[in-house]
């Protein structure tokens, strides 16, 4: 699933580079091991003259800030760092304001770069700050979670959350370089890795049925990381994301909206759970994708056996698939519908969903009847 301009090369041992080509500009995504410790060399070559301020969270800082700082200092690139609290709560206006002021105090100038070292929260927050600081400074993404490596670090979406919903305030601000060091995945908890795997699954479910079939056979090796399968899964996912971003950078043609498979349901569930450890993003997306298949089956669009395969695979890897799998009190259909109405794909008050005609056959339905979705949610929430 490599798009136009998405080419691969091998700048170093066991490192792959995927180029994202956009009108008038492009940027490389390096995937391999040991990239945190050699980041200074790669940044100096890609962004000559740029000094760097690192944004990370307390958990990631304890693991990877020191080797990154050493690599940057060896090239005279290090301006300083800003460390925020871990978790989705840091994607907020107050944290964004404090972070922006800190970056200015560190002396970040127009030609410098902000480095986002961490998972999706840090990537979104630091990316947003870099997009508004001095009306836009350069950005390097160093994702340290599976979810961030295969999804959120690529494509230029940045944002923060509000009580109304997830990522409703943000910008498009493409990175200048992405360094996906797969060695960092060894420090993830099993739960965090599983949550990231939901986004890997997504690429098979939305447009690559053979990849999903491959995952059904090789998911255990992807999880263990003991063979080449983990790198193949990440590489395939990043190529799919790059191709879609190249085709539709700002969700204008509709192709990029396919990346939201499961996200309209999932983001509503995340908001209901208070953006907490009660429900991680990838867990919400796993439930959301299964709901999208369930809804598609109910509408006569998708064969029931395809939905059964999706649910069976989620169960095998240990991911939730039903609203009832969320700990605590279940949401009401009305609560979910109100949260879904805040989705960024809503136009003219009409709810849009990414639906499927089968595994690997996703499409966008832009006028879902409210009565139909309400009846479906009643069934799924156990309210009928």
Structure tokens at 260: 């939201």
Which pLDDT score, from 0 to 100, does residue 251 have? 82
Domain ranges of the chain: 8-194, 261-380
The Cα–Cα gap between 172 and 73 comes to 30
Is residue 88 annotated as a catalytic residue, yes or no? Answer: no
Catalytic entry in 194, 230, 281, 344:
281
Residue 75 vs residues 48, 79, 82, 181, 267: alpha-carbon distances, Å:
11, 11, 20, 20, 41
Of 239, 175, 185, 259, give the one whose Cα is nearest residue 17.
239
199 is catalytic: yes
Question: Would you state the pLDDT for residue 344?
Answer: 67
Percent of the chain whose predicted confidence (pLDDT) is above 70: 95
Residue 290 among the catalytic residues: no
For the question of residue 256 being annotated catalytic, the response is: yes
- Chain centroid to CA 249: 15
Pure H helices in the chain: 39-46, 58-60, 66-74, 93-105, 120-132, 146-147, 190-207, 209-224, 229-247, 263-272, 281-298, 304-317, 333-340, 370-380
Topology of domain 8-194, CATH? Rossmann fold (3.40.50)
The per-residue pLDDT for 342 is: 82
Distance, in Å, from the CA atom of 227 to the CA atom of 250, rounded to the nearest integer, reads: 36
Q: What is the pTM of this model?
A: 0.92
The pLDDT value recorded for residue 231 is 96
Cβ burial, residue 375 (10 Å; 0-12/13-18/19+): middle
Catalytic residue among 51, 173, 256, 313: 256
Catalytic residue among 13, 25, 135, 329: 135
d(CA 64, CA 62): 6
CB atoms near residue 320 (< 10 Å): 22
Question: What number of residues does the chain have?
Answer: 384
Which is the catalytic residue, given 166, 230, 263, 344?
263
| Selected catalytic residue, list 267, 309, 344, 345 | 267
Of 249, 251, 283, 380, which one is the catalytic site residue? 251
Active-site annotation holds for 241: yes
3-state secondary structure of 11: strand
Helices 281-298 + 304-317 axis angle, to 10: 160
Question: Tokens at residue 227, please?
Answer: 């063979």
251 belongs to the catalytic site = yes
* Catalytic hit among 33, 199, 229, 380: 199
Residue 263 falls in the annotated catalytic set = yes
Q: How far apart are CA 223 and CA 308, in angstroms?
A: 22
From first to last of its 384 residues, the chain has per-residue pLDDT tens of 333 334 433 344 578 999 999 998 999 999 999 999 999 999 999 999 999 999 999 999 999 999 999 999 999 999 999 999 999 999 999 999 999 999 999 999 999 999 999 999 999 999 999 999 999 999 999 999 999 999 999 999 999 999 888 899 999 999 999 999 999 999 999 999 999 999 999 999 999 999 999 999 999 999 999 999 999 999 999 999 999 999 999 887 788 999 999 999 999 999 999 988 999 999 999 999 999 999 999 999 999 999 999 999 999 999 999 999 999 999 999 999 999 988 766 776 678 899 999 999 999 998 888 889 999 999 999 865
Asked if 281 is an active-site residue, the reply is: yes
**Two structure tokens written together for 345:** 């794909």
* 292 CB-contact burial (10 Å; exposed 0-12 / middle 13-18 / buried 19+): buried
The architecture that CATH gives domain 261-380 is Up-down Bundle (1.20)
Which tokens hold the place of 138?
């350069």
267 is catalytic: yes
Active site residue 25: no
CB count in 10 Å sphere of residue 303: 16
Phi (first) and psi of residue 85, to 5 degrees: -70, 145
CA torsion, ordered 286, 315, 243, 91, to nearest 10 deg: 30
Residue among 157, 166, 230, 309 flagged as catalytic = 157
């Amino acid at each position: 699933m490599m798009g136009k301009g998405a080419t691969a090369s091998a700048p170093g041992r066991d490192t792959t580079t995927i180029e994202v080509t956009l009108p008038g500009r492009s940027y490389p995504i390096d995937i391999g091991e040991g990239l945190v410790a050699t980041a200074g060399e790669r940044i100096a070559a890609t962004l000559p003259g740029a000094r760097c301020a690192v944004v990370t969270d307390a958990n990631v800082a304890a693991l990877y800030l020191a080797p990154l700082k050493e690599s940057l200092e060896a090239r005279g690139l290090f301006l300083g760092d800003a460390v925020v609290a871990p978790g989705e709560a840091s994607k907020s206006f107050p944290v964004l304001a404090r972070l922006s002021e800190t970056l200015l105090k560190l002396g970040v100038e127009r030609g410098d770069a902000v480095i986002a070292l961490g998972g999706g929260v840090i990537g979104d927050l630091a990316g947003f700050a870099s997009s508004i600081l001095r009306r836009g400074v350069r950005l390097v993404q160093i994702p340290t979670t599976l979810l961030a490596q295969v999804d959120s670090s690529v494509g230029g979406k940045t944002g923060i959350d509000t009580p109304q919903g997830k990522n409703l305030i943000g910008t498009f601000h493409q990175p200048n370089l992405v360094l996906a060091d797969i060695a960092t995945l060894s420090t993830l908890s099993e739960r965090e890795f599983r949550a990231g795997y939901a986004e890997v699954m997504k690429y098979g479910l939305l447009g690559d049925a053979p990849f999903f079939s491959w995952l059904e056979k090789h998911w255990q090796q992807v999880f263990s990381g003991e063979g080449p399968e983990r790198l193949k899964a990440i590489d395939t996912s990043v190529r799919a994301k790059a191709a879609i971003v190249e085709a539709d950078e700002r969700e204008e043609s509709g192709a990029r909206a396919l990346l939201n498979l499961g996200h309209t349901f999932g983001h509503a569930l995340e908001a209901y759970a208070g953006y907490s450890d009660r429900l991680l993003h990838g867990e919400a997306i796993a439930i959301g994708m299964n709901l999208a298949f369930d809804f598609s089956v109910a509408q006569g669009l998708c064969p029931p056996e395809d939905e059964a395969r999706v649910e069976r695979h989620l169960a095998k890897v240990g991911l939730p698939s039903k609203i009832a799998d969320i700990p605590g009190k279940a949401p009401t259909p009305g609560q979910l519908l109100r949260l879904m109405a805040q989705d960024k794909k809503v136009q003219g008050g009409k709810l849009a969903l990414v639906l499927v005609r089968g595994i690997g056959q996703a499409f966008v339905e832009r006028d879902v009847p409210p009565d139909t979705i309400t009846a479906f949610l009643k069934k799924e929430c156990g309210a009928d």
